Amino acid sequence: MVKRVLATIASALFAVPALAASPVSLTPYLMPDQAEEIALARSAGPAALSRDATILVLTAEGYKKAVEGRNGFTCLVERGWMAPFDGPDFMNTSLRGPVCYNAAATRSHLPYVFNRTRLLLAGRTKDEMREEIKKQVARKELPTPETGAMSYMLSKQQNLGSNGHWHPHIMFHLPRTEMANWGANGEGSPVFSDPTQATEPEPETTFFVVVESWSDGTP
């Protein structure tokens, strides 16, 4: 069932022109130099993993595979529509979030990226996107995060909108859970979580753990 859902989402994304009756322009979000976007995507993770990862780049028709990987990781640069719907950076045109997903997150979290991109290109408003995702979750059309799903955001060049460069961090993607179960956001806790996730429609809770160095090894 999950494999069929993932295949459906991927097919829909890469066939966006057939779906987009009133497409939204991605021009403000595009990077004109594909090589630069590939390098930025790779900078999300340590070179030991990102050099052999699959790399996706954003085009006017959605995300496309630019590099075929061989280690199960997938790296890309997220844009503003992946920010929380109720947060300050949803659709922020300056947001550039390089991220590298491990194999489990590639299978079970990356479909969320594809799905939001597809809905955006199909002309959905924010409210319409959120309501459609809620319906998809109710119909069990979106996967829940697999055990071990995690990702790296270690790029020194990251721009997370209102949070700027923030800090190098890794993320753990879990099925919906209480933040307190992980001690997130507690005084002295190294585990963070964005409270606006509570109103996100996808069946996931993400925890952030800050690390000491960027992907190039600098503190």
Q: Which residue has the higher pLDDT, 208 or 4?
A: 208
Hey, what amino acid is at 198? A
What are 155-206's pLDDT values in tens digits?
999 999 999 999 999 999 999 999 999 999 999 999 999 998 989 999 999 9
Q: Looking at the chain, how many residues does it have? A: 219
- What does the DSSP 8-state code read for residue 72? S
CA geometry: angle 44, 4, 69, nearest 5 deg: 30
Query: Within 10 A of 146 (CB to CB), how many other CB atoms are there?
Result: 18
What are 85-101's pLDDT values in tens digits?
999 999 999 999 999 99
Residue 12 has pLDDT above 70, yes or no: no
What are 45-90's pLDDT values in tens digits?
999 999 999 999 999 999 999 999 999 999 999 999 999 999 999 9
Q: Name the pLDDT band for 133 (thresholds 50, 70, 90).
A: very high
- The structure tokens 């408003």 sit at 125
Q: Where are the domains of the chain?
A: 2-210
What are 111-125's pLDDT values in tens digits?
999 999 999 999 999
Residue 4 has pLDDT above 60, yes or no: no
Give the separation between CA 79 and CA 98, rounded to whole angstroms.
9
2: CB partners within 8 A, 6+ apart: 107, 108, 143
Average pLDDT value for the chain: 90
Residue 10 has pLDDT above 80, yes or no: no
66: CB partners within 8 A, 6+ apart: 34, 37, 38, 55, 56, 57
Give the separation between CA 131 and CA 189, rounded to whole angstroms.
34
Q: Which residue has the higher pLDDT, 143 or 17?
A: 143
Phi and psi for 31 in degrees, rounded to 5?
Answer: -105, 120
